[in-house]
Structure 1
């Protein structure tokens, strides 16, 4: 069974440490090695709070809403009303030794018109390359019994609006990230 270690943002499967999808795709992140890391930390805390609250909404509960995340939650509720998703997996950790990485899928399910999808919730900017690699990585981890026809990024904004963007799969970009990650990790060990 996959285990997530929040402090190191790593996963363990059968006693083997696996890097996260986020870690593998870090080379494509806009703020990778930023000179203002506190901004990335604040955005990460906000994103975590929004993700947790959206999961509660999906489970039929009412989350505690601070002023900092209320607009994002209003945007999520609008998305739910517009697309009426039937989620099968919510904040679902998964990983394989074969692929050598793990991650937590935000959502997998079916939209009102029958599209099956992986959906990743974002509260910041949508960076195309990073999204392609990240969502392709989740699609590769998805167990075979789940059929996925679409990959989406859902950007929630503080003003209560949202943007749903379809993201094309990009296995070559994911493979490049995996190559860079593995090379970097090998270099650290020598």
Structure 2
């Protein structure tokens, strides 16, 4: 279990169940809120999903170990990350950052963003995707939810949202639109459904 003190809130993350607990109460993750609108994995076997999750976790870990400790990896996707980072002059600032979003004194959701970096000298939230066909609308909503939570949690403005598609030989860097209104609308739909 990971634990962070975020302002007045104690956030815990139980990795085995992908559960966030804030101040003793379970709160939905950004991923849970996205499932309100998107269900990309219908019909995919649990075995395939577990293998894909393992490969994604390995990639995230390889990037984090490189950025924190300078350790390199033989993963093709990791090498593609280094290529995109150099090509787009991305300056890593921090990885695996916890966020929460609260409204009216109640924590609404929590999450962990992949990378805080600078692109063109501007603060950016960047996500890593290893899926075969990334859903850009879903990813845009995801990073917008991270943006809202990050800005509230850390009191710093995010100017750019992006993601890297890293899968086998595929390597692409995408900038995404800032659209907080759509992200908040999705949160409201989630809350109304519950």
TM-score (norm. length: structure 2): 0.81
Unmatched runs of 5 consecutive residues or more in structure 1? none
Please, which of 53, 56, 61 is the counterpart of residue 47 of structure 1? 56
Which structure exhibits the higher relative contact order, with contacts defined as CA atoms closer than 8 Å and separated by 6 or more residues? 1
Task: Specify the alignment match of 2:99 in structure 1.
Answer: 94
CA RMSD in angstroms, aligned pairs only: 2.1
What is the aligned partner in structure 2 of residue 148 from structure 1?
158
Alignment of 1:89-128 (within 5 A): 89-98=94-103, 100-111=108-119, 113-124=120-131, 125-128=133-136
Query: Using a 3 Å threshold, how does the CA distance of structure 1 residues 13 and 57 change in structure 2: closer, same or farther?
Result: same
| Aligned position for 1:178 | 187
Structure 2 residue matching 1:79: 3-state secondary structure? helix
Residue 62, structure 1, aligned to residue 71, structure 2: yes
How far off its partner does 1:121 sit? 0.5
Aligned residues: 179
TM-aligned CA distance change 1:146 to 1:87, over 3 Å: farther
Unmatched runs of 5 consecutive residues or more in structure 2:
6-10
Change (3 A) 1:10 1:49: same
User: Partner of 2:174 in structure 1?
Assistant: 165
Out of 8, 19, 32, the residue aligned to residue 17 of structure 2 is: 8
Task: Give the match's secondary structure for 2:84.
Answer: helix
Per residue, is there more strand in 1 or in 2?
2
**1:20 maps onto 2:29 in alignment:** yes
TM-aligned CA distance change 1:63 to 1:30, over 3 Å: farther
Asked whether the equivalents of residues 19 and 29 of structure 2 are also in contact (C-alpha less than 8 Å), the reply is yes
Contact 1:30 1:127 in 2 (8 A): no
1:114–1:180 CA distance, 2 compared to 1 (3 A) = same
- In structure 2, relative to structure 1, the CA distance for the partners of 1:180 and 1:42 (3 Å cut) is farther
| Residue pair 2:96, 2:113 contacting (<8 A) in 1 also | yes
Shift of 1:94: 1.5
How far residue 133 of structure 1 moved from its aligned partner, in angstroms, is 1.2
Q: How far apart are the structure 1 equivalents of 2:155 and 2:93?
A: 12
Equivalence for 2:138: 130
2:147 to 107, 132, 139: 139
C-alpha change, 1:55 and 1:9, in structure 2 (3 Å) is: same
TM-score scaled by length of structure 1: 0.83
Give yes or no for the alignment of 1:78 onto 2:87: no
Pick closer, same or farther for the CA change 1:174–1:32 going to 2, 3 Å.
Answer: farther
SS at match of 1:43: helix
